[in-house]
Chains A and B, each alone.
Chain A
C-alpha cells in the first residue's frame, strides 16, 4: 500500500470517528436531554419533591448536561453503558446475552444474500434487457417497496400455515440438530434476504453496466474478446470498488430489517431487546443499543468507502 492510499484511508477513518462522535451527541441529546426530567417521569406527578430530588441524585441528573454526556461516553468507551432502569441489571450483560444471536442471524443472512445478489446482479448486467433481467428487475422493485412484515407474513402463511414445514416462530434455544437449525433460521433469513438481495443486485447491476458502457469495453470487444471475457477480465476489475460499496451499503439494510424480523419471529436478539426497552422507556438500554446499531452501520459504510479507495486503479503505483 503506498502513501497516498494510506493517507486517504487514515483520513477516512478519522472522519468516521468524528461522525461517530457527532452521532453519540445526537443520540444523547434526543434520549437524555430533550425529554426533560427522567426522575419526575418515572415517579409520576404525585411524587414529593424530596423523593424526586433523591432519585435525581441517584441518577446523577443533578450534574450539568455536558458532565453527564462525558460520563456516559466514557462509560461506553470502557464497555460500561450503565444499568437498566427496568430490572437493575447491567446493560452490558443484557446486551452480551443477546448480541451473539443478532450477529449470527445477520451473518447467515449476509452469507446467503451476497453471493446470490452478486450473481443476479452480474448476470442481469450481462444480459441487459433479456427476460431474466426484466424479471429480476421487477422482482427487485417489488421486494424493496414492500414492507418486511408483508414478506414475513407471506412466508409464515406459506411455510407454516399451508405447507406446515416450519414453525411460525423461531426457537433458537432448542437447536440440537441441523434440521432444528433450519427450522429456526429459514424464515427469518428468507425475509431478511428478500430486500437485501434486491437492493444489492440492483446496485451491482448498475455498477457493472456503468463499466460495460465505457470505451475500453468497446475496445475489448473490437479486439475479439467474447462477452464472458469482457465482463470477467475487463469490466469486473473496475467494478470491484462500486460493487464492494454496494454490498456494504446494502448490508446496512440488514440493521433495519433485523428490527422487524426479530420482532415477528420472536427472535431473542438485540433488536427485540431494544424494542422492549423502548416500550418500557428504559433509556440506558435504548442508548446503548442505539449506539451499537450506529456503530455497526458506520463500520459497514467505512468498509464500503475504504474498499472503494483501495480498489481505485489510479491510486496504484
Chain B
C-alpha cells in the first residue's frame, strides 16, 4: 500500500475527496538544507553575533581615541572605513558600537518574546477553560489590543520623554513595545494548534494543561515562533537605531550605530564613509536576519495579518 494522504473530513460528514489525488507520499524528514540566500544570511548573522561579543577587543583603536588628523577622512589602509568628525576611526567605533546595537536589541527582543509567549500561552490556555478563563483571555487580549495601537516609535518617544534615555530604559521600551505583537502571534499559533484533534485527544485522555501546553502544543509552534523572534529582532534594531539617530537612544560617550550616523550626518554633504558605513552596518544586520528567516519559511501568516 502506498501512502495515501487524505485531507480532513468536515465535522461528522463525508470526506471532501482529496483535492490533490497526486500528492506524493510524504518522505522521511531530511536535515533541511538552507538555500544560498539563507546561508548568506546565516553567515552575516553569525559574524555580527561574534562581533557583538568580540568587537571591542578586535577593534584596532579605542572607541574614543582621536587617531586621525583628518575629519571625515576617506577610506584608507590605516582607516578602512575613514574617520569621523573628530578624527576617530570609524571601523573601531562600529566594532565598539556592536555590543550596543546588537546586545540591547537582543535583550529587548528576548524580553518582548518571553513576555509575549508566556502571556500568549496563558491567554490561549485560559481561553479554552471555563468562564473565568475566558475572562482572563478577554482582558489580556483587550489590553494588548490597546498597547499595539500605540505606534512603536511614538511609544519610545513618550518613554524617553518621561524617564530620560538609558540602556535599561531602551531595553524595557523595546520589550514593552514589541511584546503585544509577540503575544498576538503566540496566542493565535497556540489557539490554532489547540483546535487540532491531537490536543482534543490529549484532553479526552485527561491530561493536564501543563502537559498539553509544553509537550503537545509548544513543539508544533517552535518554527513560526522562531521566525517571529527574528522579525521582531529586526524591528527592534530599526527602532533603536532610529531613536539613536534622533539623539534619544544610547547617550554619549557610548555610541551605537544609530548614534554614529547622527554624529556624522554632516559628512553627507561630502559623501564621506563616516555616515554611510554605520548605516550600512545596520542594513547588513537586518537584511542578514531577514534572509535567514525567509529561507526558513513561515512568513506567510505574518504578511496576511500585517503584524
Q: Which residues of A contact B (CB under 8 A)?
A: 15, 18-20, 22-23, 26-27, 30-31, 34-35, 141-142, 145-150, 153, 156-157, 160-162, 168, 202-203, 206-207, 210, 215, 242, 245-246, 249-250, 252, 255-256, 259-260, 263, 274-275, 277-279, 281, 283, 286-287, 290, 293-294, 297-298, 301
Q: A147-B283, A162-B271 are in contact. Are A301 and B242 (CB under 8 A)?
A: no
Are the C-beta atoms of A206 and B162 separated by less than 8 Å? no
Which residues of B are found within 8 Å of A18, using beta-carbon distances?
Answer: 142
Q: Which residues of B contact A (CB under 8 A)?
A: 19, 142-143, 145-147, 149-154, 157-163, 234, 238, 241-242, 245-248, 258, 261, 265, 268-271, 275-276, 279-280, 282-283, 286-287, 289-291, 294, 300, 303-304, 306
Are the C-beta atoms of B279 and A149 separated by less than 8 Å? yes
Give the shortest distance, in Å, between B255 (CB) and chain A (any CB). Answer: 15
Which residues of A are found within 8 Å of B271, using beta-carbon distances?
Answer: 157, 161-162
Q: Is the interface of B mostly helix, strand, loop or mixed?
A: helix
Are the C-beta atoms of A148 and B279 separated by less than 8 Å? no
A35's closest neighbor in chain B, by CB? B162
- What's the Cα separation between A145 and B154 when bound, in Å? 19
Are the C-beta atoms of A142 and B287 separated by less than 8 Å? yes
Chain A to chain B: the 9 pairs with minimum beta-carbon distance, closest first:
A22-B146, A145-B286, A150-B279, A249-B306, A278-B161, A206-B303, A35-B162, A256-B153, A145-B290
Which residues of B are found within 8 Å of A22, using beta-carbon distances?
Answer: 142-143, 146
Are the C-beta atoms of B282 and A147 separated by less than 8 Å? yes
Are the C-beta atoms of A301 and B149 separated by less than 8 Å? yes
Q: Is the interface of A mostly helix, strand, loop or mixed?
A: helix
Q: A22-B146, A153-B268, A278-B248 are in contact. Are A30 and B294 (CB under 8 A)?
A: no
Which single member of B150, B157, B241 contacts A275 (CB below 8 Å)? B157
- What's the Cα separation between A18 and B283 when bound, in Å? 38
- What's the Cα separation between A149 and B268 when bound, in Å? 12
Which residues of A are found within 8 Å of B162, using beta-carbon distances?
Answer: 30-31, 34-35, 283
Which residues of A are found within 8 Å of B157, using beta-carbon distances?
Answer: 259, 274-275, 278, 286, 290
A-B contacts, 20 of them at CB < 8 A, read: A18-B142, A19-B142, A19-B146, A141-B287, A145-B287, A147-B258, A150-B279, A150-B282, A153-B275, A161-B269, A161-B270, A161-B271, A203-B306, A206-B304, A259-B157, A260-B242, A260-B246, A275-B157, A275-B246, A297-B150
Are the C-beta atoms of A210 and B153 separated by less than 8 Å? no
Give the shortest distance, in Å, between B297 (CB) and chain A (any CB). Answer: 14
Give the shortest distance, in Å, between A95 (CB) and chain B (any CB). Answer: 15
- What's the Cα separation between A160 and B270 when bound, in Å? 11
Give the shortest distance, in Å, between A50 (CB) and chain B (any CB). Answer: 26
B234's closest neighbor in chain A, by CB? A145
Which residues of B are found within 8 Å of A250, using beta-carbon distances?
Answer: 306
B164's closest neighbor in chain A, by CB? A281
Give the shortest distance, in Å, between A278 (CB) and chain B (any CB). Answer: 4
Q: A35-B163, A147-B283 are in contact. Are A19 and B245 (CB under 8 A)?
A: no
Give the shortest distance, in Å, between A163 (CB) and chain B (any CB). Answer: 12
- What's the Cα separation between A275 and B161 when bound, in Å? 9
